[in-house]
Amino acid sequence: MARATTATIHLDALRHNLGVIRQHAPRSRVMAVVKADGYGHGLERVARTLRDADAFGVAALSDVERIRALGLSQPVLLLSGFDASEDLARLRRLRADAVIHHPDQIEMLAQAESGAPIRCWLKVDTGMHRLGFAPTLVRAAHARLSGLPAVADGIVLMSHFASSDEFADGRAGGAQTRAQLRVFAEATAGLSGPRSLANSAGVLGWPDAHGDWVRPGGALYGISVVPGRPGAGFGLRPAMTLSARLIAVNRIARGERIGYGASWECPEDMPVGVAAVGYGDGYPRQVPAGTPVLVNGRPARTAGRVSMDLTTLDLRGQPDARPGDPVVLWGPGLPVETVAEAAGTIGYEPVCSITRRVRFVED
């Protein structure tokens, strides 16, 4: 039997999730964030499916190239901006928008050769302290940019949240996000131009932050970063199923130990399944024994450590399982957020980590 480890991408779910986001933010335009190869779902596949998005957000000029090669003409924003003046010609040729977060970029624009003006998104550091101009420097940066021939009219004012997954009604009360909203309002008061703040969690939990453009990534793929509340809790549908097959089912005696490190002991005579999937496919090695999987659509759990090509399963609840039976590692019915939490990470990481030997199919 050929290795059947497969990532199935649910195109309908992508379209559905874009619709859910539009319902949440009806007055905003939607930038579909497709960085990291469409969060591991395949950039071309996602961009083609979401061709109705008002814009795309990416992390690299090569991603803009790939989107333009599909014939898509809406704005594409380089979320980290450009970092070398050589990039400006390519940026113009591809009609890419650029985030401006640092004075060096303004200098490069000031010295740019004449050519088509570039749409700029001026980034304000409202408290995340990753990228952006300090609030006190925003007015001067805006004024300088506005006067440059290389800069298109209508500079967008933007920021990014550090903790928008804590909602205002949550335990932590969303103080960080409220503070960031206040800082943004003060730093940009009186400046003209569209506003953009909200990532997925901002779309789902912070209506005050929607502004003119929302920038969801994870939510498009059906993934939530809100603790204890997977995407389905917001009406989102998972856009990826990771599946494999059982290639063995063995009866192992009570007291025997399973897998590397002999870390898991059979509490009784029991069937142990072996699924043809491991960390070499992108299934996280960090998941502990007992992490849920679906075998024939029914719940089972991992037993022992995940290895590179194989994962062992406790099949006590499924005495009839046979080699060839399907195993779902995540997908509809088993949120990737649950698996990610077991691995000590967020749902974004496993979907971005699928390796090249996994077969991608669309449905």
Ligand X SMILES: *Cc1c(COP(=O)(O)O)cnc(C)c1O
Q: Given the rule CB under 6 A, which residues bind ligand X?
A: 33, 35, 79, 160, 199-200, 215-219
- Least Cα distance to 157 among 129, 190, 115 occurs for 190
Q: Name the residue nearer to ligand X (CB basis): 181 or 266.
A: 181
Q: How far is the CB of 340 from ligand X (least distance, A)?
A: 14
Q: Minimal distance in Å, beta carbon 72 to ligand X?
A: 19
Which residue lies nearer to ligand X by CB, 200 or 312? 200
Q: Find the shortest distance in angstroms from Cβ 74 to ligand X.
A: 16
- Rank residues 274 and 339 by Cβ distance to ligand X and give the closer one: 339
Q: Hey, which residues are catalytic here?
A: 35, 260
**DSSP conformation class of 316:** T
CB-nearer residue toward ligand X: 58 or 242: 58
Look up residue 3 and give its amino acid: R
Here the contacts of 98-107 (C-beta below 8 Å, separation 24 or greater) are 99/123, 99/131, 99/158, 100/141, 100/145, 101/125, 101/131, 101/132, 101/133, 102/131, 102/133, 103/133, 103/141, 105/81, 106/141, 106/144, 106/145, 106/148
Give the type of residue at 65: E
Nearest approach in angstroms of CB 245 to ligand X is 31
CB of 161 to ligand X, least distance (A): 9
- Whether 272 and 266 have beta carbons less than 8 Å apart is answered as yes
Nearer CB in complex with ligand X: 33/327: 33
**CB contact at 8 A, 123 and 160:** yes
DSSP states along 30-58: EEEE-HHHHHTT-HHHHHHHTTTSSEEEE
